Chains A and B, each alone.
Chain A
Amino acid sequence: MGEELRELVLQEIQREMISNMLAQGKRMDERAKDEYRKATVQKGVLTTAEGSALAQIGDSKVLCGVKFGEMAPFPDRPTEGVFMVMAEFLPLASPVFEPGPPSPESIELARVVDRGIRSAEVIDTKGMFIEEGKVLAIFIDLYVMDHGGNLTDTAALAAAAALSDTKVPNVVDGKIVRRDYKGPLNMPDKPLTCTFAKVGDHLLLDPTREEERAAECQLTVGTVDGYVVCMQKSGPGSMKKSEVMECIGIALKKGNELRNLI
């Protein structure tokens, strides 16, 4: 049976099981609706990158590497450095990931994590000017290695942890000197996301792969302490305003708990 069809059939069966259990107030893994699976963060797992971290939430694993480079600034911001977030859904992470150009899902994930970091203004791009026509660039690459559901939160956690592990390289004569560091990257805040799956009338924080398959849609809420820094409704289906506000309330609280892991 093709993977696509297998997914489709599994989805039908699991959706029914998950809804039946939710009707009795239970999740498959017996978590509360607003409870995360076990989340862990390991910083400094790579020596080749200027910053790195491996984040795991449940069975999901995302490795983040932060590298510095030099490049021409964007014409509308000639004195500011740039940073970019890219996500790679490795084919080894899931039977549904295929080699090839980035999928819309991986682009969406990277852009949501990017917006969280950008909106929280945690990277001082003004301090990344080298010389006329040349600025520092920070490449934040997210490697999804195992897909156990809720890749967005796992990726945001990996990115924030990797950035807080990052050392800024010295620049001599307009060139980066590798393995010679000026000091740690100043990161005033740690933007993280909390993702909810909507299954029937239930909002499930940190959905597993099975819960994601059963969900009508998902909502990702990015936070720093006290503020929302990005949101993204993803997947078909719709949400009421009251549901959005409930997710925001939980995300602001749980975001702070997750931040303690870094």
Chain B
Amino acid sequence: MAGSPAPDKPALFRDGKRLDGRAPNELRPIKIVAGVLKEADGSAYVEWGGNKLICGVYGPRECIPKHDANPYKALMKCRYTMSPFASLEEHGRSGPNRRSTEISKVIKEAFDSVVMTGEYPKTQIDIYVDVLQADGGTRIAAVAAATVALANAGLPMTDMISGVAVGKADGRMVIDLGKEEDNFGESDMPIAFKHRSKEIVLMQMDGKLTPEEISANIDAAIEGAEKVYAMQAEALRKSYETSVAEEFRM
């Protein structure tokens, strides 16, 4: 998420356009493919701008450790991790860290409100999301991938989840922040909604905003999330039409 501006902060707008040529309310190109893994119960591959993520879902299956099992519902679990080669900077450490632990928690909680966990008491449902290449906005791309993977696993859900990050770069509101905007922008606010009710299931924010700016951000995010939803639904539809193995090209 956005930090305080570093000394060599580049201009984030040039001639009214963003660094990658986008308009303030324009999303990056997004590609979603459902059912890309054979072993997993459900899976999805997402390219979102320069982000590349793969998501596999397992479950409902036996809850381990057993004493964690909930007699009323399935336990949702999520493990979001970044690959050691995911960033342009130096080699990262594989496995969970403080950042990924927090992201895993908020993603898990987002899906807790749509997956009908009450159908599967004493079990667990695992969402594994691995960021293969990162370009800003990975947690929201992870949510997009996980929704499709859960649906691909045939798990009953009350709604689909889609989202987008909204932020502030050089004093202007932008949606779907890229890496530079994420690093050098003034604010970052990832939000994800239930598609039908537009209720918020994931929201974080940093930076310094007025209530009016936050209100406008949420409205812009609803609009952006709608476009993401259309692509998620299309990916699922396509998975029933064609052999997805042929669709999966990184």
B141 to chain A, nearest CB (A): 18
A106–B200 Cα gap in the complex (Å)?
A: 23
- Of B11-19, B54-62, B106-114, B240-248, the segment with at least 4 beta carbons within 8 Å of chain A is B106-114
Q: Is B64 an interface residue (CB 8 A)?
A: no
Q: Is A37 an interface residue (CB 8 A)?
A: no
Q: A76-B6, A115-B206, A249-B211 are in contact. Are A240 and B102 (CB under 8 A)?
A: no
A237–B89 Cα gap in the complex (Å)?
A: 36
List A contacts of B99 (CB < 8 A).
111
A248–B218 Cα gap in the complex (Å)?
A: 13
B209 & A228 in contact (Cβ 8 Å cutoff)? yes
Mark each residue of chain B from 177 to 209: 1 if its CB lies under 8 Å from any CB of chain A, else 0: 000000000010100001001111111111111
B199 & A248 in contact (Cβ 8 Å cutoff)? no
Q: Could you say which of A102, A125, A216, A233 has the most chain B C-beta atoms within 10 Å of its C-beta? A: A233
B202 & A248 in contact (Cβ 8 Å cutoff)? no
List B contacts of A75 (CB < 8 A).
89-90
B176 to chain A, nearest CB (A): 19
B211 & A245 in contact (Cβ 8 Å cutoff)? yes
How many residues from A make CB contacts under 8 Å with B? 45
A248 & B208 in contact (Cβ 8 Å cutoff)? no
A159 to chain B, nearest CB (A): 16
B6 & A104 in contact (Cβ 8 Å cutoff)? no
B223 to chain A, nearest CB (A): 13
Q: A104-B104, A107-B102 are in contact. Are A241 and B208 (CB under 8 A)?
A: no
A118 & B68 in contact (Cβ 8 Å cutoff)? no
A239 & B199 in contact (Cβ 8 Å cutoff)? yes
Interface residues on B, range: 35 or more
Mark each residue of chain A from 1 to 28: 1 if its CB lies under 8 Å from any CB of chain B, else 0: 0101000100000000000000000000
Q: A104-B102, A248-B214 are in contact. Are A119 and B207 (CB under 8 A)?
A: yes
A237–B159 Cα gap in the complex (Å)?
A: 13
List A contacts of B67 (CB < 8 A).
2, 4
Mark each residue of chain A from 222 to 262: 1 if its CB lies under 8 Å from any CB of chain B, else 0: 00101111111111111111001100110010000000000
A239–B112 Cα gap in the complex (Å)?
A: 13
List A contacts of B187 (CB < 8 A).
119
Q: Is B1 an interface residue (CB 8 A)?
A: yes
A110–B67 Cα gap in the complex (Å)?
A: 27
List B contacts of A110 (CB < 8 A).
98
Q: A4-B67, A4-B68, A76-B6 are in contact. Are A233 and B204 (CB under 8 A)?
A: yes
Top 5 nearest A-B pairs (CB, nearest first) are A236-B112, A238-B199, A231-B205, A233-B203, A104-B105
Q: Which residues of B contact A (CB under 8 A)?
A: 1, 3-4, 6-7, 67-68, 70-72, 76, 89-90, 98-99, 101-102, 104-106, 109, 112-113, 187, 189, 194, 197-211, 214-215, 218-219, 222
| 14 pairs, A vs B, C-beta closer than 8 Å | A4-B67, A77-B6, A110-B98, A121-B208, A227-B210, A231-B203, A234-B105, A236-B76, A236-B112, A238-B197, A239-B199, A240-B198, A241-B222, A248-B214
